[in-house]
Amino acid sequence: MREKEGKNKPLVLFSMVFSFLLLFVFGLGEGWTKNSFCLECHKDPTLKREDERGRTISLYVNEGEFKNSAHGKLSCSDCHIHIKDDTHAEGGKKKADKRVNCGSCHKEAEKEYLQGLHSKMIMKGTERAAYCHECHGKHDILPSKNPKSKTHKSNIDQTCNRCHSDIEFVREHALGSIIPGEEFKKSVHGRSGEVTCISCHGSHNLRSLIDPKSTIFRSNIPQTCGGCHPEITQQFVESIHGILAARGRSDAPTCTTCHGIHGIKAKVDPDSPVHERRIALTTCPQCHAAERISKEYRITTTPVKSYYESFHGLSYKGGDTYSANCASCHGIHDIRPSTDPKSSVHPGNLQKTCGNCHPGASENFAKGKIHAIPSPKAEEIGDRIVGWVKIIYIVLIVVVIGGMVFFNFTDWLRKTIERRPK
Ligand code: HEC
Ligand code: HEC
Ligand code: HEC
Ligand code: HEC
Ligand code: HEC
Ligand code: HEC
Ligand code: HEC
Ligand code: HEC
Ligand code: HEC
Ligand code: HEC
Ligand code: HEC
């Protein structure tokens, strides 16, 4: 045994020198030996510490995950710039400054991020506002093209909802009742796999809904949806509603007034707020039957009332799906006042509009006032006659029934007086 060892001495020496050289070139040079220095302690899954509030924090770093991450080639100290040795391990006196500055290498992303709300909330000291690693991870960061990445489009909703669908979190941050989690997953967007939270909110520079630069600021919503629904948005911005919405008026409908926000459904879904059975019952009447809105904008609530009394309205309420609802005559995203020659209810276009369902409708057929309620003051002679007849009818009813009551009353009075003992 001893002899053998002695014989191989030069070989052992050589291999030791060689492996040191290898380590130097491929190890130290790449920083990986330094990482192995840190990992000597931090690859231990049981390494923990307690924070100020007494919660245990794991100090375990998964070596394999880190090596496979986008930063696998970096040295630990490239991010943990204040930690270059193990003096921090004692804790207490020499507390580790664990702040990691991603921006030193990702200037573009940081610049965008600093304009957004999440960074502003951190500066205000909000606990749990999202810093880079809350969305990207710490030691397992992958390019967002990678399906395993926390920022891959199939995982983004989970990444955001870790905070935004945590009920306690939502309450603490006074975020109203908006909990997009399940609602979004079931929506037509959530199910498409194409649309994620960042399609509407952006990722780094996302802003609050009260910030005029925000994609979800009221008057910017049509443009936000328009990124994917360009034709509808084009029609909408030229419509009477769109013009009013662009002025930021809260009474003007915008995309989300009619469709909802995170739970948008297909129009054929019976639960959709714009399903054809709802259009003439809630979608349009929510405003056009509201006294406050009609007073403020000097539009009348007559159309809704008269529609319900019309043949169209009566059969619509009865469940006839072929009958006309508000949108059949007015359009949906391109609604214009009847005085606008481009309006589907402009006198010049009515023959065509009615003709969609009444083939061969004549000019005369389309002539009558659609929303007129018969009254002596109505514009059309026919409505005036019907209006007068209605009034005469009411007067007759009052006179006949009133006369009868009067006759019975005096008769009863006479009889009571006669029966009184003298
Ligand atoms: C001798 C073992 C050991 C070595 C080597 C070591 N650490 Fe630590 N590390 C610890 C211990 C123990 C703590 C917890 C200290 C405390 O209680 O505050 C810690 C804490 C940390 C923390 C702070 C975690 C937190 O949330 O407070 C970071 C970051 C860290 N180490 C990174 C590194 C890096 C980078 C290296 C290599 C340069 C390294 N460590 C080398 C044992 C070690
Ligand atoms: C891409 C930058 C980056 C690199 C490289 C990196 N870390 Fe970290 N590390 C982070 C971030 C970000 C945090 C979370 C900081 C915080 O909580 O404020 C973190 C936290 C930690 C913690 C605290 C425990 C935890 O999970 O929060 C330890 C320990 C740690 N790192 C050790 C290491 C070691 C060891 C290496 C090298 C193998 C390393 N880190 C490499 C970014 C990095
Ligand atoms: C020391 C410089 C440095 C630091 C600090 C750093 N990164 Fe990186 N990061 C890189 C390099 C280098 C790459 C790899 C780029 C490549 O492969 O083209 C990378 C890749 C990425 C990627 C993948 C996207 C891509 O372009 O491939 C993301 C996401 C990322 N880093 C986020 C972060 C986050 C979040 C932090 C902070 C926790 C951070 N980085 C800290 C240097 C750094
Ligand atoms: C609210 C979540 C969130 C925060 C916070 C966040 N990011 Fe991102 N980041 C994303 C998403 C989602 C993407 C991918 C989609 C995209 O391109 O917008 C992304 C993309 C990136 C990319 C492009 C590379 C890639 O993988 O596509 C880099 C680099 C990056 N982020 C770095 C950072 C840095 C640095 C910070 C902190 C200053 C940060 N991010 C903060 C969500 C976030
Ligand atoms: C189709 C576009 C769209 C998508 C996709 C979307 N949002 Fe929204 N989100 C909006 C709009 C528009 C508002 C503004 C609502 C309002 O005006 O009240 C909003 C509001 C919010 C708010 C603010 C709530 C408040 O009261 O301040 C949060 C938080 C939010 N969304 C998170 C998310 C998350 C998380 C996801 C992904 C699961 C997501 N959103 C997906 C359009 C979208
Ligand atoms: C670590 C927790 C966290 C994560 C992850 C996170 N956020 Fe936030 N987010 C916050 C906090 C905190 C606020 C600020 C709430 C407040 O105003 O107090 C906020 C605010 C918002 C707002 C603005 C709400 C308003 O005031 O109108 C939107 C929109 C938003 N986040 C969307 C997202 C999206 C989209 C993602 C994913 C890409 C995401 N958040 C990921 C914590 C988080
Ligand atoms: C006044 C209410 C209202 C407003 C405002 C509104 N919509 Fe609609 N939208 C509807 C109704 C009603 C339907 C269903 C039409 C039907 O049954 O054919 C619809 C249908 C749709 C469809 C499905 C179209 C199809 O043919 O499959 C999309 C997409 C859509 N709207 C997007 C938008 C966008 C984007 C905006 C904002 C620019 C918007 N909507 C504004 C009421 C509205
Ligand atoms: C990133 C692209 C994108 C954005 C932004 C977007 N959508 Fe969509 N939207 C889609 C896709 C894709 C579908 C089709 C899903 C399917 O049919 O499976 C869809 C479907 C719809 C539908 C259902 C159409 C139908 O079949 O009846 C409505 C309504 C709708 N979107 C409204 C909106 C509104 C309102 C906004 C803005 C708040 C918006 N969308 C923003 C991509 C987008
Ligand atoms: C959020 C409330 C709201 C909803 C929902 C709404 N509207 Fe309006 N609409 C208005 C307001 C406000 C005006 C007045 C605009 C102006 O005068 O600039 C208006 C104007 C109109 C006009 C023109 C009136 C005139 O006198 O010039 C027509 C026609 C109209 N809306 C039809 C509809 C139809 C059809 C629907 C359903 C598909 C609908 N609206 C849904 C609020 C609404
Ligand atoms: C059969 C077609 C038809 C239906 C259904 C219909 N309208 Fe009209 N609407 C018209 C025509 C035509 C006018 C033009 C003026 C008139 O005849 O009173 C008009 C006028 C209006 C006006 C007055 C503004 C203007 O442009 O002159 C409003 C507001 C209105 N309609 C809303 C509605 C609402 C809300 C519904 C559903 C409850 C509805 N309409 C259903 C055809 C229709
Ligand atoms: C979406 C299809 C549709 C449109 C558009 C439409 N109608 Fe009708 N209309 C019907 C249906 C269906 C009935 C039968 C209703 C019933 O059961 O009484 C009807 C009935 C009528 C009647 C009762 C007499 C008859 O022919 O049964 C008149 C009058 C009428 N419509 C006029 C109009 C005028 C004027 C317009 C244009 C301003 C118009 N309609 C637009 C579907 C439509």
Range 18-41 average pLDDT: 62
Kindly report, residue by residue over 383-412, the tens digit of the pLDDT. Answer: 777 778 878 888 989 999 999 999 999 999
Quick check: CB of 59 below 6 Å from ligand 1? yes
For residue 105, the CA-to-ligand 3 centroid distance in Å is 7
Mean pLDDT of the residues in the chain: 86
When pLDDT is cut at 50, 70 and 90, the band that residue 160 belongs to is very high
Residue nearest to atom 11 of ligand 6 (CA): 129
Q: Which ligand is nearest to the CA of 47?
A: 1
For residue 294, the CA-to-ligand 9 centroid distance in Å is 9
Report the residue count for the chain: 422
Is 335 in contact with 294 (CB distance < 8 Å)?
Answer: no
CA proximity to 180, closest of 168, 197, 192: 197
Residue 255 CA to residue 240 CA, distance in Å, equals 14
Residue 212 CA to residue 216 CA, distance in Å, equals 9
Between the CA atoms of 163, 164, 166 and 167, what dihedral angle is there, to the nearest 10 degrees? 140
pLDDT computed for residue 385 by the predictor: 78
Q: Which amino acid is at 378?
A: A
pLDDT computed for residue 200 by the predictor: 96
Range 39-63 average pLDDT: 90
Q: Which ligand is nearest to the CA of 74?
A: 2
Residue 378 CA to residue 336 CA, distance in Å, equals 23
For residue 59, the CA-to-ligand 6 centroid distance in Å is 27
Quick check: CB of 42 below 6 Å from ligand 1? yes
Residue 373 CA to residue 380 CA, distance in Å, equals 10
pLDDT computed for residue 199 by the predictor: 96
Residue 287 CA to residue 36 CA, distance in Å, equals 67
Q: Which residue has the tokens 């009067």?
A: 406
What spatial distance separates the first Cα and last Cα of the chain, rounded to whole Å? 153
Kindly report, residue by residue over 57-93, the tens digit of the pLDDT. Answer: 899 999 999 999 999 999 998 999 888 888 888 765 4
Closest atom of ligand 11 to CA, residue 318: 17
Residue 77 CA to residue 86 CA, distance in Å, equals 12
When pLDDT is cut at 50, 70 and 90, the band that residue 172 belongs to is confident
For residue 340, the CA-to-ligand 11 centroid distance in Å is 23
pLDDT computed for residue 82 by the predictor: 83
Quick check: CB of 106 below 6 Å from ligand 4? yes
Quick check: CB of 320 below 6 Å from ligand 11? yes
Residue 393 CA to residue 333 CA, distance in Å, equals 43
Q: How far lies 200's CA from each of 105, 160, 178, 203, 215, in Å?
A: 27, 13, 15, 9, 7
For residue 179, the CA-to-ligand 8 centroid distance in Å is 19
pLDDT computed for residue 29 by the predictor: 43
